[in-house]
């Protein structure tokens, strides 16, 4: 049987480790809060499992279109924004084409590119963990079909500013699709951050990705979306696996969109917890990059595996990216003290080893 050689060596997506019942799972940037009030009931009302869902997710698209001042054709809903990434790569890129993105960034990007048959061009982050947008623009060639900009960057944390993004867009040919992955947009408190939706009118080569998985706490129901030009999203729709956003996911998204004030309260609480964790880690001596998502980055370097084990022994499952660092999601309030105690012990060990 023939398997494409690049697929034969491609590892399957590696999920954040599941936690034992008494451990905190801070490895997948999930929301520790349960779904917003009324969302479970809205999902429970969807019991016609013998029927297919609305393949176009029209009701969700209509609400989003209204919210962002777009037409419904300028909104595409998919089973997670990772699905949109796959659809975009397939729609724009194939063998011989290049997709540029920062590295380290979201771990699904390399697989998305390879599955499309295209070639990854990874541009190292700046020392502060942010995208090096000048280098990314310089990496664009006549083979580049798509550039992915992730803000805040998963796993390192920093945002791209509006000014940086506009300079970048000016440097990139308008024939190259720029995908602004804003999976963590709701957690951003830095007022200088780029806000993609507001720029769609200005840049015809821009698509913005958002998700219900993070701030809205619907990771398990798989609903993400793209905002962008209708003809690009029509091509994306043509690449989608039909009927893959469930009626339950659509109902949950709609109910969540109606509960904006509760959502914002929770997001504010998580952002405040994040800022407190960052301040405490820096006071311990960690060089934590600016954290604008619902996670923090510990540059543990060669000590990454040892540090991840120490967290696990303390009952915290983290995401280790050896030999660079560890990403820790901002989860339950109860996890914070253990997180900080473990980090404090580690920073001492790492310094003692130097």
* Distance of closest approach, residue 232 Cβ to ligand PLP, in angstroms: 18
Give the nearest distance from C-beta 212 to ligand PLP in angstroms: 7
- Closer residue to ligand PLP in complex, CB, 77/298: 77
Tokens of 134: 């000048």
Site for ligand PLP in 324-353 (CB under 6 A): none
Task: Extract the tokens encoding 267.
Answer: 């997001």
151 binds ligand PLP (CB under 6 A): no
Torsion of Cα atoms, 98 then 177 then 55 then 118, to 10°: 0
**Hey, which residues between 88 and 147 contact ligand PLP (CB under 6 A)?**
106
CB 283 to ligand PLP: min, Å:
27
CB 105 within 8 A of CB 85: no
CB of 327 to ligand PLP, least distance (A): 10
Which residue's Cβ has the minimum distance to ligand PLP? Answer: 80
* Interface with ligand PLP (CB under 6 A), residue from 19, 219, 235, 280: 219
CB of 339 to ligand PLP, least distance (A): 20
Spatial separation of the C-alpha atoms in residues 200 and 205, rounded to whole Å: 8
27, 114, 125, 154: which one binds ligand PLP (CB under 6 A):
154
Strands (E), 131-233: 144-150, 177-181, 206-211, 224-227
Residues 59-98 that bind ligand PLP (CB under 6 A): 80-82
256: its two tokens: 């969540």
Of the candidate residues 32, 130, 217, 224, the single one contacting ligand PLP (CB under 6 A): 224
Q: How far is CA 31 from CA 21, 102, 157, 264, 315, in A?
A: 17, 25, 16, 13, 18
Q: CB-based contacts of 151: which residues, under 8 Å, 6+ apart?
A: 131, 159, 160, 165, 180, 181, 182, 185, 188, 193, 194, 292
Residue 150 engages ligand PLP in binding (rule: CB under 6 A):
yes
Residues in touch with ligand PLP (CB under 6 A) = 29, 80-82, 106, 150, 154, 181, 183, 211, 213, 219, 224
């Amino acid at each position: 049987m023939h398997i494409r050689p690049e697929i034969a060596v491609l590892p399957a997506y590696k999920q954040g480790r599941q936690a034992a019942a008494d451990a905190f799972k801070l490895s997948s940037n999930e929301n520790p809060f349960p779904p917003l009030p009324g969302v479970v009931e809205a999902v429970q009302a969807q019991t016609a499992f013998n029927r297919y869902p609305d393949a176009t997710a029209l009701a969700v698209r209509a609400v989003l279109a209204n919210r962002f001042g777009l037409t419904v054709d300028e909104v595409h809903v998919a089973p997670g924004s990772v699905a949109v990434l796959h659809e975009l790569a397939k729609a724009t890129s194939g063998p011989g084409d290049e997709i540029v993105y920062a590295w380290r960034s979201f771990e699904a990007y390399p697989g998305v590119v390879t599955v499309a048959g295209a070639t990854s061009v990874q541009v190292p982050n700046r020392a502060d963990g942010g995208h090096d947008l000048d280098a990314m623009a310089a990496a664009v060639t006549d083979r580049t079909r798509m550039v992915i900009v992730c803000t805040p960057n998963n796993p390192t944390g920093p945002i791209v500013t509006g000014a940086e993004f506009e300079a970048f867009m000016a440097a990139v040919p308008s024939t190259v699709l720029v995908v602004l992955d804003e999976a963590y947009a709701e957690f951003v408190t830095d007022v200088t951050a780029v806000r993609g939706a507001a720029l769609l009118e200005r840049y015809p080569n821009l698509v913005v990705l958002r998700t219900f998985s993070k701030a809205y706490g619907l990771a398990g129901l798989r609903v993400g979306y793209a905002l962008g030009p209708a003809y690009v999203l029509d091509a994306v729709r043509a690449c989608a696996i039909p009927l893959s956003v469930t009626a339950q996911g659509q109902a949950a998204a709609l109910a969540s969109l109606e509960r904006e004030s509760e959502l914002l309260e929770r997001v504010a609480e998580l952002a405040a917890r994040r800022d407190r964790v960052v301040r405490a880690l820096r006071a311990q001596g960690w060089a934590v990059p600016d954290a604008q998502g619902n996670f923090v980055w510990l540059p543990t370097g060669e000590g990454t595996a040892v540090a991840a084990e120490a967290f696990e022994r303390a009952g915290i499952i983290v995401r280790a990216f050896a030999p660079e660092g560890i990403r820790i999601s901002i989860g339950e309030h109860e996890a914070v003290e253990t997180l900080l105690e473990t980090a404090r012990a580690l920073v001492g060990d790492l310094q003692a080893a130097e």
